Amino acid sequence: MTEAPFILLAGLFFTAAIYLMLSSRIIRIMLGVSLLGNAVNLTLFIAGRMTREIPPVITGGDVLPSTAANPLPQALILTAIVISFSFFAFLMVLAYRARQTLDTDDTTSLRFSEPADAALPPREY
């Protein structure tokens, strides 16, 4: 099985994620972050060799065949899916509260909604 279509798909995911994250709307930024996580997961999956012929299971001896897929990226991807889902749920709650409190989802308007007389943070190095 050739990896070329999947590499192009990962590049398309990265491109769309960057485009969405450069938007000024919070919903688009959240979708871009989610798509970026999927692009990274797909890249890890491609890097771990994609084969259907030999499963990543050690049957005899204690060495995985060299033509088998690497099981470590697959395990990392499963963990990353759970973490990215919880991160996305947290971002949804933050976006909902910002929309509910400030009545906007535009990041420029959110910046202007800060108090003008607030003190600047200290600039000590």
DSSP of 55-116: -S---SSSS--TTSPPHHHHHHHHHHHHHHHHHHHHHHHHHHHHHHHHS--BHHHHHHTS-T
Q: Is residue 119 part of a domain?
A: no
Domains in the chain: how many in total? Answer: 1
- pLDDT average, residue stretch 50-54: 70
Q: Is residue 113 part of a domain?
A: no
Q: Is the pLDDT at 1 greater than 70, yes or no?
A: no
Interval 62-84: pLDDT, tens:
777 777 777 788 888 999 999 99
Closest CA to 27 of 70, 115, 88, 102: 88
Q: Is residue 59 part of a domain?
A: no
Domain with residue 41: its CATH number is 1.10.287
Residue 47 lies in domain:
4-53+69-108
Question: Does 23 or 65 have the greater pLDDT score?
Answer: 23
Q: Is residue 77 part of a domain?
A: yes
Q: Is the pLDDT at 52 greater than 70, yes or no?
A: no
Q: Which residues contact 108 (CB under 8 A, 6 or more apart)?
A: 24
Q: Six-digit token pair at 112?
A: 């202007």
Interval 79-101: pLDDT, tens:
999 999 999 999 899 889 988 88
Q: Is residue 96 part of a domain?
A: yes
pLDDT at 120: 77
